[in-house]
Structure 1
């Protein structure tokens, strides 16, 4: 992968434009960075070849496609159990992401559940694993992600303090 110092301002501008909209055309990017098509195309190909751009994806609104309730769960594990616990939590369908983090806790899980009852069931499922010493769960009320072209906000019924999503 290319070192960050090898990326110039134009590379960074191209990356930001693609981050905003990965379907943006080379013609559009070229116009925005004041270069002709060929150099922009070569730069994008180099960024892909060197692994700076690892792929392209669709950004979905989870509340419209999957479960509406989002939460982060901090997980502390017993000595020597980190890899086994990672394997276990990856098998729980509601776990969307697993991050190994420095310090205490050991893992940070991104969970998506249908409602508060479903979230409770998932957390209890995770807590039952004897290799997990403790958990702490934080429910997401609103999210903003830099890499998305449009801000995502949790459904209003979650933000307004409802105990569970409306049916």
Structure 2
């Protein structure tokens, strides 16, 4: 990847719906070579997809939390991931070194729904304890989001 590729990727991260013509103008190239560069970046797996940013409050699931999971000492990393991957409200699973063993990001439509998600996570036999951290606000590089 050269500097132009990095700029193209940055521009697409900022706005995945940005037109090839707009990107071309930003990098001082014509559209055709920029389109070829984007296609090459996609084929190489450097760009893996495009996504929409949504307002979860308006969709009825504006309640976000992180759940710390602690497992039995002999639990393998794959089992840790499997414990949470089957719960539909789980958005991300981070297996980490130290205490806790995993950090799970979930989205719910309220406290009662969050309680049922936590109960579902606790059903896995190797889960020894949980701790829930409710998100009050968040910031993401490229734009701010506030629940």
Shorter chain as normaliser: what TM range? Answer: 0.7 to 0.9
- What TM-score, normalized by structure 1, do the two folds share? 0.78
1:151 and 2:136 matched = no
Aligned counterpart, 1:67: 61
1:108 and 2:103 matched = yes
Aligned residue pair count: 146
Q: CA deviation at 1:121?
A: 2.7
- What TM-score, normalized by structure 2, do the two folds share? 0.88
Q: CA deviation at 1:14?
A: 0.7
Runs of 5+ unmatched residues, structure 1: 1-6, 155-167
1:129 and 2:124 matched = yes
Q: CA deviation at 1:130?
A: 2.7
Aligned counterpart, 1:88: 83
Runs of 5+ unmatched residues, structure 2: none
1:24 and 2:22 matched = no
Moved over 3 A (4+): none
Aligned counterpart, 2:112: 117
Paired residues of 1:81 and 1:131 also in contact (CA < 8 A):
no
Q: CA deviation at 1:51?
A: 0.6
Q: CA deviation at 1:80?
A: 2.4
RMSD over aligned Cα, in angstroms?
A: 1.8
